[in-house]
């Protein structure tokens, strides 16, 4: 695990940008009386497009995937490391198209003080990443639904449900 001081400036930039995007989107919609759902959907959509592009680049130099599990392993390792500078801590599956990715110290939540106090704000910090994963998988030819769940900051779980046609 990295220590705060060692991080490169550009890594911090991503975090700042991410936070700014969230606050921008939530503020811009506050005037209308629309609900949070619209904001998270917007964030998710942004993540989707970014995921699509990133995965194109990340998979450029690696051998062809054998199967779905191979793809999920890639998401947990290379993809995660490329964005969050660490791998997913735990990947579990029921072998029927449901995968749970557990990150014990999710980078985009580390800036929020640990504990239960800000739990209600956690979902908006996860929407972008959900989209990111969904976009990556979609471009790899797997349609899925990605949801996130926080039980104790900064740990979180992403659940990926494959949608079979």
Residues making contact with other proteins (CB under 8 A): 49, 52-57, 59-60, 62-67, 139-141
Name the token pair of 85: 């500078």
By residue count, the chain amounts to 165
CB of 6 to other proteins, least distance (A): 28
Considering the complex, state which of residue 40 and residue 52 has its C-beta at the smaller distance from other proteins: 52
Name the token pair of 72: 């999920």
Look at residues 79, 65, 52 and name the one whose alpha carbon lies nearest to residue 158.
79
Considering the complex, state which of residue 53 and residue 82 has its C-beta at the smaller distance from other proteins: 53
CB of 66 to other proteins, least distance (A): 5
CB of 111 to other proteins, least distance (A): 25
Q: In whole angstroms, what is the distance from residue 165 CA to residue 155 CA?
A: 32
Considering the complex, state which of residue 55 and residue 160 has its C-beta at the smaller distance from other proteins: 55
CB of 48 to other proteins, least distance (A): 10
SS3 content of the chain, % helix, strand, coil (to 5): 55, 15, 30
């Amino acid at each position: 695990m990295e220590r705060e001081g060692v991080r490169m400036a550009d890594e911090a930039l991503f975090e700042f940008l991410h936070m700014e995007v969230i606050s921008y989107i939530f503020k811009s919609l506050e005037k209308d009386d629309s609900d949070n759902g619209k904001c998270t959907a917007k964030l998710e959509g942004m993540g989707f497009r970014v995921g699509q592009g990133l995965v194109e680049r990340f998979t450029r130099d690696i051998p062809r995937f054998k199967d779905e599990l191979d793809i999920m392993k890639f998401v947990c390792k290379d993809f995660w490391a490329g964005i969050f500078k660490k791998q997913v801590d735990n990947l579990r599956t029921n072998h029927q198209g449901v995968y749970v990715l557990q990150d014990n110290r999710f980078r985009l939540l580390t800036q929020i003080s640990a504990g239960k106090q800000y739990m209600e704000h956690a979902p908006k910090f996860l929407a972008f990443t959900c989209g990111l994963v969904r976009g990556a998988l979609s471009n790899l030819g797997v349609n899925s639904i990605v949801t996130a769940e926080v039980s104790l900051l900064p740990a979180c779980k992403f659940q990926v449900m494959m949608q079979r046609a």
